[in-house]
Amino acid sequence: MSHFVQRREKIRRLLRKERLDSLLVTSVKNVTYLSGFTGDDSYLLITPQRDLILSDTRYTTQLEEECSEIEPVIRRAGKTMLGSIAETLTKLKIKGLGFEANTMTVAIHAKLSATLSSAKLVATQLWVENLRQIKNREEIARTRLACNQARRAFEVARALITPNMTELDLAAELEYQARHFGGRCLSFPPIVGVGPRSALPHGTPTNRRIGSSDFTLIDWGVNEGLYVSDLTRILVTGRISAKLRKIYEIVLKAQLAAIEAIRPGATCGSIDRAARDVIAKAGFGRHFGHGLGHGIGLDVHEAPRMSQGQKTPLAAGMIVTVEPGIYLPGWGGIRIEDDILVTRSGHEILTSAVPKRLEQCVVE
């Protein structure tokens, strides 16, 4: 039995528990997770006895190649997705239809309600997203590959840095190298912030030159085809001032404390607190305003959330980021981020091959 079949069986158990006839999966990533199909504009319908994927003629061959065990419902030209859904549900005599409340838009819900007069729509909350938190061996292997591709892209881009290179130049180089080493693309538009601009946690690259400040923040990751990585490093392109050393060492200490606390059963909130306490005791608590991290997988931000008050316990197979930071407007920001696999006995740092000790961050 393939892992896609196993995942759909878990959804069927939820259908039985909630006494629903079916679940309509509309999230593109969730369709991929449950079926293996990697195209767009297609919905997955799971019933107690059947699995159907609603798509169009562009994907007829791809559906046969990627998920031949799922029954395709191919709509003809001129027929809408809503019309295809209504016709299919009527044929199957569906009375209770679960839908993904966290991804379905109000507009689509309204149209479905108007079109499906015979079926009751029932909101479901994160059924598939909760399954996605625990990665199997293949998912872990693909994430390792994404981490390795990110490392290699970074190493080459770092070696090519010159003082006249801009933030935009470096972002473009990272994208090129990610593809050169086999990645589909970067996980997200990279963040490159020189000096004071590094105080913008999600700043977009500009024409500011790398040589205009002593350090640069780089936040990037690679999508290996489906699964992603997410890292942040500081590169020192000038002198290591006393202030830079102080802030950097505080952030690194906070990150290491949080990583050390990662093990099955530890709550996401307790991991966040391990890092936040270090920064707060150093007097910079109000300069660390975001959560400690998040899950990664098919999406760069997915469950679980690693932030204050989160009671979700970690479990073996989860992959999370740990990315504390201190941001001082007018001076700059320091953030260090790694991808961590929760193991049965503790944790494994998937991105440990990317150096992060301050002296290792100096660009000659």
Three-class DSSP labels, 219-281? EECEECCCCECCEEEEEECCCCCHHHHHHHHHHHHHHHHHHHCCCCCCEHHHHHHHHHHHHHH
Burial class (CB in 10 A: 0-12, 13-18, 19+), 177: buried
Is it the case that residue 118 has pLDDT exceeding 80?
no
116 pLDDT band, cuts 50/70/90, is: confident
181 pLDDT band, cuts 50/70/90, is: very high
Task: Tell me whether strands 120-124 and 96-100 are parallel, antiparallel or unpaired.
Answer: parallel
113 pLDDT band, cuts 50/70/90, is: confident
Is it the case that residue 146 has pLDDT exceeding 90?
yes
Model confidence pLDDT, tens digit, residues 334-352: 999 999 999 999 999 999 9
Q: What is the pLDDT of residue 11?
A: 98
Overall average pLDDT of the 62-84 stretch: 93
User: Could you tell me if 30 and 100 are in contact, meaning their C-beta atoms sit under 8 angstroms apart?
Assistant: yes
Q: What is the pLDDT of residue 265?
A: 98
Q: What is the pLDDT of residue 119?
A: 83
- CATH code 1.10.10.10 for 3-132: no
Burial class (CB in 10 A: 0-12, 13-18, 19+), 247: buried
Q: Which long-range contacts link 68-71 to residues 24+ away (Cβ below 8 Å)?
A: 69/2, 69/5, 70/35, 70/37, 70/44
Overall average pLDDT of the 324-333 stretch: 98
Is it the case that residue 117 has pLDDT exceeding 80?
no
Residues of each domain in the chain carrying CATH 3.90.230.10: 137-361
Is it the case that residue 280 has pLDDT exceeding 70?
yes
Residues of each domain in the chain carrying CATH 3.40.350.10: 3-132
Mean pLDDT of the chain: 96
Overall average pLDDT of the 65-84 stretch: 93
Task: Tell me if residue 35 falls in helix, strand or coil.
Answer: helix
The C-alpha atoms of residue 195 and residue 210 are separated, in whole angstroms, by 9
Q: What is the pLDDT of residue 114?
A: 86
CA distances from 297 to 33, 115, 157 (A): 10, 35, 24
Is it the case that residue 237 has pLDDT exceeding 70?
yes
Ranges of beta strands (E only) in the chain are: 22-25, 43-46, 51-56, 71-75, 96-100, 120-124, 185-186, 191-194, 215-220, 222-223, 231-236, 293-295, 302-306, 319-322, 325-328, 332-335, 338-342, 347-349
Burial class (CB in 10 A: 0-12, 13-18, 19+), 331: middle
Q: What is the pLDDT of residue 111?
A: 85
Chain-centroid distance of CA 330 in Å reads: 30
Of the listed ranges 78-87, 220-229, 307-316, 348-357, the least confidently predicted one is 78-87
Q: Give the CA diameter of the chain.
A: 72
364 pLDDT band, cuts 50/70/90, is: confident
Angle subtended by helix axes 242-260 and 268-281, to nearest 10: 150
Fold for the domain defined by 137-361: Creatine Amidinohydrolase (3.90.230)
Radius of gyration in angstroms for the set of CA atoms belonging to the chain, rounded to a whole number: 23
Q: What is the pLDDT of residue 1?
A: 65
Which of 295, 334, 306 lies closest to 201 in space, CA to CA? 334
Q: What is the pLDDT of residue 296?
A: 98
Overall average pLDDT of the 240-268 stretch: 98
Overall average pLDDT of the 70-94 stretch: 91
